[in-house]
Structure 1
Amino acid sequence: MPSRNSQAVRVAVLADSDTRWKWGALTARRIAPDDRPTELSGFLLRGRATPTARQLAEVGAEADALREVTGTAFLRALREESYDIVVLALVGGAVQAMLHGMAALRTEFRPVVVTGYVGVVYEKLSDGLLLRHGADVVLANSLYDAERFRTVYEGVGADASSVTEAALPFLGGTPYTADEERDTLVFAAQPSVPTTRADRTYLLRRLVEHARLHPHREVLLKLRSKPGEHTTHVEEYPYQRLVEKVPGGTPPNFRLVYGNMGEVLDRTDLLVTVSSTAALESLHRGIPTAILTDFGVREPLGNHHFIGSGCLASWDQLDGGGRPSADPDWSARQGVVSDGSYAAAFDHARERVTKLLDGPELPPISPYYTVTTAPGYLPGLLARYHLAPDGKPLATAPEGADSDASGLRRVVREAVRGAARGAYRHGVQRVAPVIRRMGEL
């Protein structure tokens, strides 16, 4: 039976990594109608970046129920269970696949579908946006993003009414004041920026040298994952391995840290990164934030997004005591609302979702990409998620969630999956670099 008229609003969040789970779960809580209780069911899409229990605990986003599924198992859950809102916290291709799969379900009542981005959108703007088209609500994290999103949709003749301005759901924390007794520099690492071993070794060397130059300052390298874990992007050269080879070792005021970024920022008085979304969290609190220019200001690095921010700086400038000051106009357009208005940042999105829930039955899901508009692209994309061009599961689609299997089968399956992920990590972090070096001989 549909739950549209039930007392509680039932929300399903499908995520494919730790960071997207954090975004999806926190977003779901913020956009659900505030006059009714919310039941949040979490689904983790099985794949390379499926988060571990430690990663889930670290992000601090909870659900009333949580299970790991394949894409086809998630679609089956939508058919057999009843949800009012579905939040797709996935890469663009997976969003598109789930949209077509949901369209093919043709249930009597369908949920409101919400999607968006987990952070700064600095690459593949048109590709990612068109893969998300078809959702009822495409969240933009700032006025700047909302304008860009609408321009893309309108430019290809697609309906842009789904674009809804909001903000990143995990901003917050105690505002920073300069008179606090803090002396902690935090470098927010990224799994794939920069990519080469030489560049990542350079960053680590400069961080260690900064610690030696400032022996009374705490210097922290904030890492997203531990060895053996994966997040949104592949990390070919983990800093944990590179730090083992630092000549002379590291000084006592230098440490690797994990944990929730918000808790780390509580003691930070200078945040340094290449282009991490952590910069927006830091700017929201008013913490001095530096976007590194040591490798240039380039699109592949993502630091071009911060042009005009007032935050661009090099390690030489930071070693000399530089503390960038963010431009308030730039910050406001980027959704870094540190003026107290953040509490209302999700009001419009919540109103839109509530209106869709309480209004007439929703029309069929209608993505921009179809077998007519993209016949050379869409079928292959859907096949990667075991869906036919019409959105229905292929005959070769894998079976459902592990919760349906016996205890023994589940243990065996987990062991095989763990071995496969280990082999994948070994290939990325060990074999691939060797092959590249051989090719350069």
Structure 2
Amino acid sequence: MPPRTDDPAGPAGSPSSGAPALRVAVLADSDTRWKWGALTARRLTAPGAGRGDGGPARGPEVHGLLLRGRATPTPRQLAEVGEVGVDAGRVREVTTLEFLHAVRDEGYDVVVLALVGGAVQAMLHGLAALGLPRRPVVVTGYVGVVYEKLADGLLLRHGADVVLANSRHDAGRFRAVYEGVGADSSAVTEAALPFLGGEPYRREPGRDTVVFAAQPSVPASRADRTYLLRRLVEHARRHPGREVLLKLRSKPGEHTTHIEELPYQRLAERIPGGPPPNFRLVYGHMGEVLDRTDLLVTVSSTAALEALHRRIPTAVLSDLGVREALGNHHFISSGLITSWDRLDEGHRPLPDEEWLAGQGVAADGSYADAYDAAGARVAGLLDAGPLPAITPYYTPVSAPGYLPGILARYHLAPDGRPLPGAAVPKETGRVRGAVRETVRNAARGAYRHGVQRVAPAIRRVGEL
């Protein structure tokens, strides 16, 4: 499917050319998935990506679509994820039906679904129900380490033209799941996390910085989170000449990919005697924090892979056990699992090179080629002419007790069509549209307040 020729202009600053720019839509439902989706779109469709003929002469025109929900990123979160090469003017919030209408009406060549598994499944069925004569190439994948719900998440993503695996290890697991249930596994394509980068680690004289990469939902309990914070603060007190940073993903009231009901900020306010002067909370782009990191400590954050890519010393904590619920079981055989007691005494784990080679961190310098196979697959699909119908593994016949409930959450019937009463209202002039948007924003604010503040408080009261 060649790039559409009705594109009046490419992205700002792109050179004029006879070859039209690819039109790419990224649909994301959280800040981290937006980062993954936007960077993936750029790498998959960059000029020449996967094409022996040099590819399109102009770069892709990437449009950002944020799926409205509890984790829809705020402007601050979008700014903080770092440069993703997408014009802020091309980012807008949409509902499921508005997204489907955009695909139908705006002529995208590629759609990247950077969503939770259930949302991917809903969009696949919704796109299939559109019955477009020339549909876009559909790409999806995972934003980080896949440590839970492997079969569930993968089968919800089945039906996309490209299912990206972030490593050789993941690609093998993904194919095994699909083939094990008799599903086509040809969409699985090995790539890497698109946001790896930065200069290789070099120890700077006089600098000694330990960073703990916090996670919104791991661990979940107050006792476990309080324990980790206490050990981090104690580490800072043991080493007064060392800078100890607690890297946080979001501020209280904001949501990221996972719900954070017990923010470390709130727990830090209760540190007996207050934090030591060499301990700080930090936000911002992870890559910029890693620029000054001498040891990255985490339970199971994807930040560990970012650090390993740059050869920054990295430690995965065993203090709360090595358990599937924590995700640190993913690092078995890595050589990185250790405890705060050992770190306090100066231990620095060394990664196992064989384990690293299978994890897609490309510490061997091969990262520049990590998206070649995926780019070639997308280019081949674009050149293949009209694509076949989208055929997810889950259908009303194969999963009649599961699929309808998933689709209903996104206001779609079991056949992928809008449920009665879910049609998108038509705009009737600028004033009516402005009023509608104001009401929508107020309702969205109330919804987020209920999900992010009221519901967690009620749950905590119930645990008393």
TM-score norm. by structure 1 comes to 0.96
Aligned equivalents of 1:401 and 1:135: distance in 2? 30
**Alignment counterpart, residue 434 of structure 2, candidates 383, 388, 407:** 407
Aligned equivalents of 2:352 and 2:73: distance in 1? 36
**What one-letter code is carried by the residue in structure 2 that aligns with 1:423?**
G
Which residue number corresponds to residue 355 of structure 1? 380
Which residue number corresponds to residue 52 of structure 2? none
Aligned equivalents of 2:69 and 2:218: distance in 1? 22
**Alignment counterpart, residue 59 of structure 1, candidates 81, 91, 97:** 81
SS in 2 for 1:41: strand
Which residue number corresponds to residue 67 of structure 2? 45
Aligned equivalents of 1:193 and 1:368: distance in 2? 31
Q: How does 1:19-418 map to 2 (within 5 A)?
A: 19-34=32-47, 35-36=55-56, 37-60=59-82, 61-64=84-87, 65-178=90-203, 181-397=206-422, 399=424, 406-418=433-445
SS in 1 for 2:65: strand
Aligned equivalents of 2:457 and 2:353: distance in 1? 44
On the 8 A contact 1:14/1:42 being kept in 2, the answer is: yes
SS in 1 for 2:325: helix
User: In terms of mean alpha carbon deviation, does 412-421 or 215-224 score higher?
Assistant: 412-421
Aligned equivalents of 2:413 and 2:28: distance in 1? 22
Aligned equivalents of 1:355 and 1:400: distance in 2? 38
**What one-letter code is carried by the residue in structure 2 that aligns with 1:303?**
N
**Alignment counterpart, residue 420 of structure 1, candidates 418, 433, 447:** 447
On the 8 A contact 2:70/2:447 being kept in 1, the answer is: no
Q: Which runs of 5+ in 1 are unaligned?
A: none
Tell whether 2:14 aligns with 1:14.
no
* CA positional deviation for 1:3: 4.8
C-alpha deviations, 1:154-193, integer Å up to 9, x for none?
0000000000000000001010024554310000000000
Aligned equivalents of 2:442 and 2:206: distance in 1? 48
C-alpha deviations, 1:261-291, integer Å up to 9, x for none?
0000000000000000000000000001000
Aligned equivalents of 1:70 and 1:11: distance in 2? 18
On the 8 A contact 2:411/2:419 being kept in 1, the answer is: yes
Tell whether 2:434 aligns with 1:434.
no
**What one-letter code is carried by the residue in structure 2 that aligns with 1:291?**
V
Aligned equivalents of 2:258 and 2:205: distance in 1? 35
SS in 2 for 1:406: helix
Aligned equivalents of 2:111 and 2:405: distance in 1? 24
Aligned equivalents of 2:206 and 2:142: distance in 1? 35
**What one-letter code is carried by the residue in structure 2 that aligns with 1:327?**
D
SS in 2 for 1:68: strand
User: In terms of mean alpha carbon deviation, does 39-48 or 415-424 score higher?
Assistant: 415-424
On the 8 A contact 1:19/1:118 being kept in 2, the answer is: yes
Aligned equivalents of 2:35 and 2:28: distance in 1? 9
On the 8 A contact 1:141/1:334 being kept in 2, the answer is: yes
1:419–1:125 Cα change, 3 Å: same
SS in 1 for 2:182: coil
On the 8 A contact 1:73/1:399 being kept in 2, the answer is: yes
On the 8 A contact 1:386/1:396 being kept in 2, the answer is: no
On the 8 A contact 2:133/2:386 being kept in 1, the answer is: no
Aligned equivalents of 1:256 and 1:401: distance in 2? 46
On the 8 A contact 1:2/1:109 being kept in 2, the answer is: no
SS in 2 for 1:42: strand
**What one-letter code is carried by the residue in structure 2 that aligns with 1:237?**
L
**What one-letter code is carried by the residue in structure 1 that aligns with 2:440?**
R
C-alpha deviations, 1:362-414, integer Å up to 9, x for none?
10000000011001111111111000111011122263699986223322321
Identical positions, percent? 70
Aligned equivalents of 2:434 and 2:106: distance in 1? 24
On the 8 A contact 1:70/1:400 being kept in 2, the answer is: no
On the 8 A contact 2:2/2:382 being kept in 1, the answer is: no
Aligned equivalents of 2:237 and 2:167: distance in 1? 39
C-alpha deviations, 1:117-172, integer Å up to 9, x for none?
00000000000000000000000000000000000000000000000000000001
Q: Which runs of 5+ in 2 are unaligned?
A: 7-19, 48-54
Q: How many residues align?
A: 437
Aligned equivalents of 1:226 and 1:396: distance in 2? 36
**What one-letter code is carried by the residue in structure 2 that aligns with 1:321?**
G
User: In terms of mean alpha carbon deviation, does 57-66 or 138-147 score higher?
Assistant: 57-66
On the 8 A contact 2:62/2:86 being kept in 1, the answer is: yes
C-alpha deviations, 1:48-73, integer Å up to 9, x for none?
00000000000122423010000111
Aligned equivalents of 1:14 and 1:401: distance in 2? 22
